[in-house]
Amino acid sequence: MSRIAVIVGSLRRESFNRRVAQAMTRLPAAQGHAFSWPEIGDIPLYNQDREADPPPQMVRLKQEIRGIDAVMFVTPEYNRSIPGVRFAS
């Protein structure tokens, strides 16, 4: 069984992206996989100055993803491009 983290780039509870991600986890091809939904709404904006001492929210996210087999990103498109906000890796 593969463990897959689903990261939804839209924070709105009823976002279309969240609905698409939830539907994808119910497809026949998704059977036999375990999905987790790490929270990103509390992660501060990326700041390279904080890489040596990351905020606790970032540490939590990294711990949640550690040991995961795959990460699926489902994120909105803004004016045919990626969202303007990103979080630290």
> Where along the chain do its domains lie?
2-74
Sign of the dihedral defined by the CA atoms of residues 75, 81, 83, 88, in that order: positive
How far apart, in whole angstroms, are the C-alpha atoms of residue 27 and residue 78?
27
pLDDT tens across 11-48, in order?
888 889 999 999 999 999 999 999 999 999 898 888 89
pLDDT tens across 46-66, in order?
889 999 999 999 999 999 999
Please name the CATH architecture into which domain 2-74 falls. Answer: 3-Layer(aba) Sandwich (3.40)
